[in-house]
Chain A
Amino acid sequence: MTATYDCIATTSLSSAAATVVFTSITGTYTDLVLVANFGSASANNDCRITVNSTGGGSTDYSYTYLTGSGSAASSGRLANNAYVSSYFVIGCSTDPQTITLNFMNYSNTTTNKTFLSRVSSAGKEVSAVVGLYRSTSAITAIQLETAGNSSPAQFTVGSTFSLYGVKAE
């Protein structure tokens, strides 16, 4: 049987870092799954997702989130943004949180790219986010960055990030 779910790359942080980047992503799979399990050095920062090194001045992203704080449920969205936010993450190095990202049909060069995010932070919130990158380029790089209101904005030591390729055959 053909393997349909391969680990393309994995990173475990040996020192705190603000960004984690997967580059040179092969176009040979159908979909991508990225699993992040991390601690955050500071509270009230978020985890920002960009692809193909398009952060900074880009306005090619939009996203819609559905979130529960433990006391209230809400939804919101942001258009023409420089990134897709996983929304807020808790600042705690010992209580890891999990983000699972699904990129469908990531390597085609015909359609804009939509991706799904599930965010689980038991100390802060649970969220589902849908993101759009308005570009028909194949996704060849994915960056996760923690940033926001508090310093230092860093993923803590021991945080892990794994990228899987899913093949439909």
Chain B
Amino acid sequence: MALTYTAIATTTVGSGGAANIEFTSIPATYTDLLLKISARNETAGNSGIYIQFNGSTSNFTNKYLEGSGSTVSSGSLARYLGTEVAAGQTANTFSNGEVYIPNYAGSNNKSFSADDVSENNATQAYATLTAGLWSDSSAITSIKLTLVGVEEFNQYSTATLYGISSTV
């Protein structure tokens, strides 16, 4: 049986933090991509995490469903994946999320699905489900994660990109 689940690359943010986490030169040899994220914002305040494909911030649409611990809401916010634990919240606590991108190398527009949680033992935390679409037929060859504004990923934030093959 063919190997179906392969780690393409992994990143761990070093001391001083990082403005983004990026995977480049993604090979087109898999069927789907799965991105696993453990991240924290180095700056105080809740902060959204956003995704880019191929360096583009255009032609993204989404629907999200989000619970904060007291309310549930739904909205549209392009490239949004969820809200990350931030400085000032429970120490050593990181958000977790995953993004599933089927047929990332195909010639259709690219849909993706994301789940993200930011539990931090405080009065407010977020659980977010996202349906995303990049209306671009290009194969995805790079993925970049950023936080809102100029905020940075905390040291020890990690992200791992897996390739999933549907070869039987």
Contacts and interface: CB of A to CB of B under 8 A. Distances in A.
Interface of A: 3-10, 35, 37, 39, 66-73, 94-98, 100, 118-128, 158, 160, 162, 164
B152 to A, nearest CB: 28
A76 B74 CA distance: 16
23 contacts: A3-B3, A3-B4, A5-B4, A7-B1, A7-B165, A8-B168, A9-B168, A10-B167, A35-B32, A35-B102, A37-B32, A68-B65, A95-B135, A96-B109, A98-B100, A122-B62, A122-B111, A123-B61, A125-B63, A160-B31, A160-B103, A160-B166, A162-B31
Interface stretch (B15-23, B36-44, B89-97, B125-133): B125-133
B148 to A, nearest CB: 20
Nearest to B106: A158
A128 B128 CA distance: 11
A68 B133 contact: no
Nearest to B78: A122
Per DSSP, chain B at the interface is strand
A164 B3 CA distance: 11
A89 to B, nearest CB: 11
A10 B32 CA distance: 12
Contacts of B73: 68, 73
A124 B74 CA distance: 12
Contact of B130 (A69, A73, A120): A120
A97 B131 contact: yes
B168 A95 contact: no
Given A68-B65, A126-B129, A98 B31 contact: no
Contacts of B103: 37, 96, 160
A114 to B, nearest CB: 19
B72 interface: yes
B131 A126 contact: yes
Nearest to A121: B131
Contacts of B100: 35, 98, 100
Contacts of B63: 68-70, 121-122, 124-126
Interface in B109-125: 109-113, 115
Nearest to B5: A5
Contact of B167 (A7, A118, A122): A7
A93 to B, nearest CB: 9
